Structure 1
Amino acid sequence: MDGYTAVDRERWVAEDPAQKRSDRNDFARDRARVLHSAALRRLAATTQVVQPSSDDFVRNRLTHSLEVAQIGREFGAALGCDADVVDTACLAHDIGHPPFGHNGETVLDELAAAIGGFEGNAQTLRVLTRLEAKRSHADGRPAGLNLTRASLDAATKYPWPRGEHPLGGTKFGAYEDDLEVFSWIRSGSPEDVPARRCLEAQVMDWSDDVAYCVHDVEDAIASRRVDPAALRSRDVQQVVAELACDWYVPDLPVEEVRGALVDILATGWVPERHRGSRTDLAALKDMTSRLIGHFVRTVEVATRERYGTGPLSRYAADLVVPRSQVAQAAVLKAVAAHFVMLSDERRTVMEHEREVITSLVERYGADPGEMDPVHREAHELAEDDVAAARAVIDQVASLSDARALAVFSQHRSGGIP
């Protein structure tokens, strides 16, 4: 017994049994569908922290997603989760992110305020269950990739609609017009804790945090945006710790968070200098491997201490992340944020990105005929102004950084995209 029921394997739309028999299993099919999707491929030209075109070394959203999947697959399997379910969730977790990463997400949320806002994770659900072309309902409505209930639940980082965050935050996982499929996905979750995430979603989320905090620091050092020696300065440590508390862990004391950075540096894993030599690059890779191993191993041990050695999946357990690891992950995120995201160079780029997103929404809204056929069709079939406006937002959100910039440039020059 693998802990997954027949209900977990159900799909939003029933499929041809003959086709089903030709595949190895339901969850492996889910992984293949996400891996071969156009929505995943476009992430190759979408910002992770800095624009993909700015450097040959830095991650983009696709390489980040692949690395999250590699971490999550092994981590989840070690706990007893189905490796394909976790892999699928990790590959899909950023599939709804718009051009220019979180900056684009913020702008689209402002522009879509009157129709329910924009959230990358809610958009992920929309892509997986509606926008990506793979299956349709009997009445012709799109059904997205038609993944199993277990895989969709695992990919749901924030299992609540807008305005229902259990802690009062702004993140959410479903727009109002996607609540039907969202309710179907969540129908197997515990009724006593409606917002509880399944274990696979928690594994995906922690794997994302680990990849994010470690790889972004690696990228920042390799691209010379962070001097490792500066991290030994108490003044720098204080600034970074304060930022970590402001952005990521407001419930932790600043000195505790600064101490988390000191503890990481005390391991000797973070190099003291980086000049780009082969030896330096090898040391940087060693840092990455050791930090990832540390974050995953510590959480696995803590979870096993609470729940025992048996296989864990779905709602049989919750991931146990020790407070010290929460602080360490947050302070590493803040290192990248301070030296990269909040740099003068990045601020200038972000202002241009805001202009691009705003211009595209206005342009497509004024002339839907310029939209891609699939989004133009949705606009034409819209039952009201809200649905038509959402089709415009879907169109812009579907663009990679590269295409958004190209279309913007063509618009400004009077060309046709």
Structure 2
Amino acid sequence: MVGRFPSPAPGEVGTTAYTDHDVERWFAEPPKSKERTPFERDRARVVHSSGLRRLGAKTQVLGPGSDDFVRTRLTHSLEVAQVGREMGRALGCDPDLVDTACLTHDLGHPPFGHNGERALAEVAAPVGGFEGNAQTLRLLTRLEPKIFADDGTPRGLNLTRASLDASVKYPWSLGDGPARPDGAPTAKFGVYPDDAPVFAWLRQGAPRGRVRCMEAQVMDLADDISYSVHDVEDAVVGGRLDLRMLDDADERARVAEHVRAWYGDWHDPDALDAALVRLRDAGYLVTDFDGSRRALARLKDATSQLIGRFSGSAQDATREVYGPGPLTRYTARLVVPDETADEILALKGVAVTYVMAPREAEPLYGAQRQIIADLVEVLADRAPVALEPQFAADWRAAADDDERLRVVVDQVASLTDVSAMQLHARLVRPR
């Protein structure tokens, strides 16, 4: 049964392709004004959430305080939402639904970016590990203060089923994901064991297996596109990368090797080299960057052109397979041509080679992981007194030590880079 949505505005295709099942909420709420669709309401809840605000002080690739230009998790999420919204609308998805998925995709990431994520994964290993995407689901359905059920249990933002499903980038638990091409299990996952009930609810109606809905696929590609082009842009502006280096075949080979080391050794180095050559020959790799306004404009134009190239390629390939009409939920799969995937991955490899890999040896990054480990230890030791009030209440309600450790991890994951360092200075290294 198709939901009773208003007719789509010009250019807003796909609005009526969703059913009442898609817009159901885990906890039924009183009827709302019909001036907004359920997906518009979902997006508004995310925009006004404390979790989204905190992303402004969380690391994307470089720390928020490294310079005035560098992207944070918040600016990255806004850019992902812009890319995803336009791509989704072109394919017939509800644009507010895709926007919501894009804005939420990094909400669960802890301070210090992936560096902090690795540190939390180590300390949380006894209780099911830590993964930013699983933490996102936990935040949306439990931790973000908005809606409570009649029995007093929190329901987080209480988003619609379709919005929650679109926000789950990895619809499986730890150890249950698809095998990588080399046969090893994927380390990524999207749900912790104690969040299994809401995960089962939001996946009602989904095909068996690990299939992601169309809107989640659009969000994932928008994330990859934004990640690949914007991290390179930041590196160039920050003086960490001169793209003329990629004229050298040996440098391109270095990039390919870093891709294989970070993303899997099954990736073809020749295909990655060819991808960089295509981008260079097409004029997308801006050289002779001198920091002038004109150079900044050339770089920004190249960034925009790359986004259009990648998203347009996927849109065209998907339409070629599925034809016209709204492609929503589980009616289609996003098609990304191999050459496009190689170009995106090659640019991600450029950022790894010249920014991310070199920083791994810097003392700062080891210190950040130690801050995370110290905070978990001291908060667990001094709980519930040292915990923030909402987490102290969760700690008191926990049934056992495993649940109490998860509460401590929840608090540490909620911190920003700055608040983590300040709390560490106060609790671990008092003056």
Q: TM-score range by the shorter chain?
A: over 0.9
Asked if 2 retains the 8 angstrom alpha-carbon contact of 1:31 and 1:84, the reply is: yes
- Identical-residue share of aligned pairs (%): 52
Aligned to 1:310: 325
Aligned to 1:130: 142
Which whole-Å CA distance do the structure 2 matches of 1:362 and 1:121 have between them? 23
Number of residue equivalences: 411
Please state if 1:290 is matched with 2:316.
Answer: no
Q: CA deviation at 1:79?
A: 0.2
TM-score normalised by L of structure 1: 0.96
Q: CA deviation at 1:246?
A: 2.7
Please state if 1:6 is matched with 2:20.
Answer: yes
Code of the residue aligned with 1:79 in structure 2: it is L
Asked if 1 retains the 8 angstrom alpha-carbon contact of 2:58 and 2:73, the reply is: yes
Q: CA deviation at 1:252?
A: 2.7
Which whole-Å CA distance do the structure 2 matches of 1:45 and 1:16 have between them? 35
Matches within 5 A, 1:99-248: 99-167=111-179, 168-191=185-208, 194-248=209-263
Q: CA deviation at 1:407?
A: 1.0
Show structure 2 runs of 5+ residues with no match: 3-15, 180-184
TM-score normalised by L of structure 2: 0.93
Q: CA deviation at 1:22?
A: 5.6
1:89 to 101, 119, 130: 101
Q: CA deviation at 1:405?
A: 1.0
Which segment is superposed worse, 369-378 or 203-212? 369-378
Q: CA deviation at 1:21?
A: 2.1
Asked if 1 retains the 8 angstrom alpha-carbon contact of 2:141 and 2:157, the reply is: yes
Code of the residue aligned with 1:396 in structure 2: it is V
Which whole-Å CA distance do the structure 2 matches of 1:111 and 1:273 have between them? 45
Q: CA deviation at 1:412?
A: 3.9
Q: CA deviation at 1:235?
A: 1.1
Give the match's secondary structure for 2:17.
Answer: coil
Matches within 5 A, 1:72-83: 72-83=84-95
Show structure 1 runs of 5+ residues with no match: none
Code of the residue aligned with 1:372 in structure 2: it is E
Give the match's secondary structure for 1:196.
Answer: coil
Which whole-Å CA distance do the structure 2 matches of 1:346 and 1:245 have between them? 19
Asked if 2 retains the 8 angstrom alpha-carbon contact of 1:245 and 1:257, the reply is: no
Please state if 1:278 is matched with 2:293.
Answer: yes
Which whole-Å CA distance do the structure 2 matches of 1:6 and 1:61 have between them? 33
Q: CA deviation at 1:230?
A: 1.2
Which whole-Å CA distance do the structure 1 matches of 2:347 and 2:260 have between them? 12
Which whole-Å CA distance do the structure 2 matches of 1:169 and 1:163 have between them? 7
Code of the residue aligned with 1:160 in structure 2: it is W
Matches within 5 A, 1:233-382: 233-248=248-263, 250-344=265-359, 347-368=362-383, 369-382=385-398
Give the match's secondary structure for 1:342.
Answer: helix
Which segment is superposed worse, 226-235 or 287-296? 226-235
Asked if 1 retains the 8 angstrom alpha-carbon contact of 2:286 and 2:298, the reply is: yes
Closer/same/farther in 2, CA of residues 346 and 374 from structure 1, 3 Å limit: farther
Code of the residue aligned with 1:300 in structure 2: it is Q
Which whole-Å CA distance do the structure 2 matches of 1:116 and 1:356 have between them? 21
- Cα deviations by residue, 1:355-376 (Å, 9 ceiling, x for unpaired): 1101111110111111111111
Which whole-Å CA distance do the structure 2 matches of 1:95 and 1:365 have between them? 23
Which whole-Å CA distance do the structure 2 matches of 1:141 and 1:67 have between them? 34
Q: CA deviation at 1:247?
A: 2.1
Which segment is superposed worse, 267-276 or 8-17? 267-276
Which whole-Å CA distance do the structure 2 matches of 1:22 and 1:198 have between them? 26
Aligned to 2:45: 33
Asked if 2 retains the 8 angstrom alpha-carbon contact of 1:76 and 1:86, the reply is: yes
Which whole-Å CA distance do the structure 2 matches of 1:273 and 1:373 have between them? 53
- Cα deviations by residue, 1:110-166 (Å, 9 ceiling, x for unpaired): 100100000000000000000000001111111000000000000000001111012
Q: CA RMSD in A?
A: 1.2
Q: CA deviation at 1:251?
A: 2.9
Which whole-Å CA distance do the structure 2 matches of 1:402 and 1:140 have between them? 33
Aligned to 1:408: 424
Closer/same/farther in 2, CA of residues 23 and 409 from structure 1, 3 Å limit: farther
Asked if 1 retains the 8 angstrom alpha-carbon contact of 2:105 and 2:136, the reply is: yes
Asked if 1 retains the 8 angstrom alpha-carbon contact of 2:224 and 2:344, the reply is: yes
